[in-house]
Structure 1
Amino acid sequence: MNPRLKNIRIKLAQERLDGLLLSSPANISYLINYQSRDSFLVITKDKEIYITDSRYTEEARLYLKGGIIIKKIDGSVFKTIAEVLGDLNLKRTGFEERYLPFADYRKIRDNLKRDMELIPVYGLVEVLRQIKDAEEISKIKKGLNITFKALHFIQDFIKPGKKEIEIAAEIERFIRYNGASGAAFEIIVASGPNSAFPHHITSQRKIKENEPVLIDMGVDYSGYKTDLTRTFFLGKINTLFKKVYRIVSHAQERALRLIKPGVALSRLDLSARQYITQKGYGGFFGHNLGHGVGLETHEAPQISGKETAKAMPGMVFTVEPGIYIPGRFGIRIEDMVLVTRKGVELLSGTFNK
């Protein structure tokens, strides 16, 4: 049996559910090892039913393995789901409250028999996805190799007079030619004062001499994402930029040295944040230290002061301290790490730091 499906069935028993209705593409893809789009999955104690429409039925028949039943949507998707749940006589079916819109929930509910319940559940699959297996780690590493190549390639393209959007377009073109299906998210190219916006929308602004260019990018490789940020500088680097860059770099190093199985993830955030605060820039570091990466660019666990989880072997997440000075510049150094049994593997190494 698929070990992922076996694990989710254990959770169904713990939650006293007869079945689970999944609508998150990432969660479905994880459980059936197939890149799901615009579809639903019903899991019971002994069956998996993949509910999709005519755009995907033939593809699903080709790629889905292990006896998964494919149900073609006939008319209303909500009636089809209700019919599947009814045919299976599922009295208590869990649904992903984070991903199923309330209006969709009501339409399914209205088509169910009176003695059937829809039970909201949260994070049943996401907690399993936190621990990557060897195949997942291999895909992430292959995606990172493409990311490294793209960042190396774009260095020669970053010149005064080039627009931020031109640089993003060149990166997008390069990663597709080199094996990625596309960018993991909208590529961020933030030049000069725009780099002080942590999630700047790449613009038509032309890059100027003697200013930083922050690039936050990742690729999608076989469904798995990468996420790296590097800050480049054109021309003469000024004293303040050097000072802030060293602070950000040292803050990241302090957090990286702490990573090992059993360490509280909140401690990593605290370590980097305290260091930046001690150097007088605490008010300029507003976001979390990092986040999990896998089938989604941002997934569990969160590397924040509020996170209650501890590091476990197989976790993949970012470590990305930053300092953003409004009107001047911003610096973020973002790397991806893998928690190992002995400690940590810096998946992105010292590339372009």
Structure 2
Amino acid sequence: MSQAAQRRNKLRSQLKKQGLDSILVTDVRNVSYLSGFSGDSSYLFITAKNTIIISDFRYLQEIADECSDIDSVIRSSTDSMIKVSAKLIRKSGVSNVALEGDSLPLAIAEAIHTKMPKVDFVTTSSIVEKLREIKSRSEVALIRKAVYAAQRAFGVITSSLTKDQTEKEIAFNLEHQIRQFGGRGTSFDPIVAVGSQAALPHATPGNQTIADADFVLIDWGADYDCYLSDITRTMVTGKVTAKYRKVYNTVLQAQQRAIKRIKPGAIMSKIDAAARGHIANAGYGKYFGHSLGHGIGTYIHESPRLAENQHIPLQRGMVVTVEPGIYLPGWGGVRIEDDVLVTRNGHEVLTNLPKKLEECILEV
């Protein structure tokens, strides 16, 4: 049985527990996760006994090569996904259908329902995403490759950094280097923020140059075969001030405290509290306003979340980021982020770029 088939059976068990006959999977990454299909613009209809991919002529070969163990319905260029999906659901005879409420536009859901008023459509949340929280060995292997591409690219960028380089140039160069090391590209638009721009957690790279300040925050990741990495380092490119040293070491210590607590059964909110409490005790509590971390996989932000309101345990196989930060308006910010796998007895930090302050000083 293929890995995708095993995942579909787990999903069927979840549907049965909730009294659901079937599900129309419309999120492109969930379709891929449950079928092995690498294309897009396709749906997956799963019942207790059957799985059918709804696609079009462009993907005939991919369907044959990647998901030959499921049935397919190929719509014509004149038939809409709504029309074909409704016809398939009607033919199946199911009494209810789960819909992916987190990704399916309301207009499409209503249009499908209008064609079949006697079928009960149930809006669900994260029913597939919950399955995706636990990564298989093959998924972890792909995330490792995404980490490798991202770290090698970063090494090239930092070793060749010059004072006249702009934030935009660094961001563009990161993507080029990631492709050089086997990645499909970046896992998101890189954040490159010099000096005071680093006070913006999701700053957009601009025309500021490395020479404009004494440090630069870089948040980037690689896409390797649709699995993603997410890393942040804040690098000194000029003088290390006493203020910078205090802020940087506070963030580093907060991250270390949190990572140390990661293991199966650890409560996510308590891991967040370990980092958040340390930053607060140093006097910077109000300058750390986002959650501590999030899951990664085929999306850059997946469940679970390491956050104050997540009173649930970590499980073996989860991969999460740990990324505390301090952001001081008008001065700048420091964030340090690593990707961490929850293992049988603890954790493994998948990323291994240096992060002690003395190791993050560049000669430019």
Q: TM-score, normalised by structure 2?
A: 0.93
Structure 2: distance between partners of 1:352 and 1:270: 22
Deviations 1:243-263 (A, max 9, x none): 110000000011111111111
The one-letter code matched in structure 1 to 2:322 is: V
1:49 aligned to which of 44, 47, 52: 52
The change in CA–CA distance for 1:177 and 1:231 in structure 2 (over 3 A counts) is same
Per the TM alignment, residue 280 of structure 1 is displaced from its structure 2 partner at its CA by 0.3
Counterparts of 1:279-294 in structure 2, within 5 Å, are 279-294=282-297
Moved over 4 A (4+): none
The one-letter code matched in structure 1 to 2:197 is: N
Aligned to 2:25: 22
Deviations 1:25-48 (A, max 9, x none): 121111112334221111011111
Structure 1: distance between partners of 2:193 and 2:213: 14
* CA-based RMSD: 1.4
Contact 1:337–1:346 at 8 Å: present in 2 too? yes
1:99 aligned to which of 83, 91, 103: 103
Per the TM alignment, residue 116 of structure 1 is displaced from its structure 2 partner at its CA by 1.3
Per the TM alignment, residue 203 of structure 1 is displaced from its structure 2 partner at its CA by 1.3
Aligned to 1:87: 91
The one-letter code matched in structure 1 to 2:111 is: K
Per the TM alignment, residue 159 of structure 1 is displaced from its structure 2 partner at its CA by 2.1
Question: 1:232 and 2:223 equivalent?
Answer: no
Aligned to 1:302: 305
Contact 1:23–1:100 at 8 Å: present in 2 too? yes
Question: 1:266 and 2:269 equivalent?
Answer: yes
Contact 2:113–2:121 at 8 Å: present in 1 too? yes
Structure 2: distance between partners of 1:244 and 1:183: 28
Per the TM alignment, residue 156 of structure 1 is displaced from its structure 2 partner at its CA by 2.4
Paired residue total: 352
Contact 2:272–2:292 at 8 Å: present in 1 too? yes
Question: 1:120 and 2:116 equivalent?
Answer: no
Contact 1:192–1:208 at 8 Å: present in 2 too? no
Question: 1:67 and 2:70 equivalent?
Answer: yes
Contact 1:148–1:351 at 8 Å: present in 2 too? no
Aligned to 2:360: none
Per the TM alignment, residue 53 of structure 1 is displaced from its structure 2 partner at its CA by 2.4
Deviations 1:134-172 (A, max 9, x none): 000000001111111011111023321211110011111
Structure 1: distance between partners of 2:293 and 2:38: 25
Structure 2, gaps ≥5 residues long: 357-364
Per the TM alignment, residue 350 of structure 1 is displaced from its structure 2 partner at its CA by 4.5
Per the TM alignment, residue 344 of structure 1 is displaced from its structure 2 partner at its CA by 0.6
The one-letter code matched in structure 2 to 1:196 is: A
Structure 1: distance between partners of 2:67 and 2:208: 46
Structure 1: distance between partners of 2:98 and 2:61: 28
Aligned to 1:211: 214
Structure 2: distance between partners of 1:116 and 1:36: 29
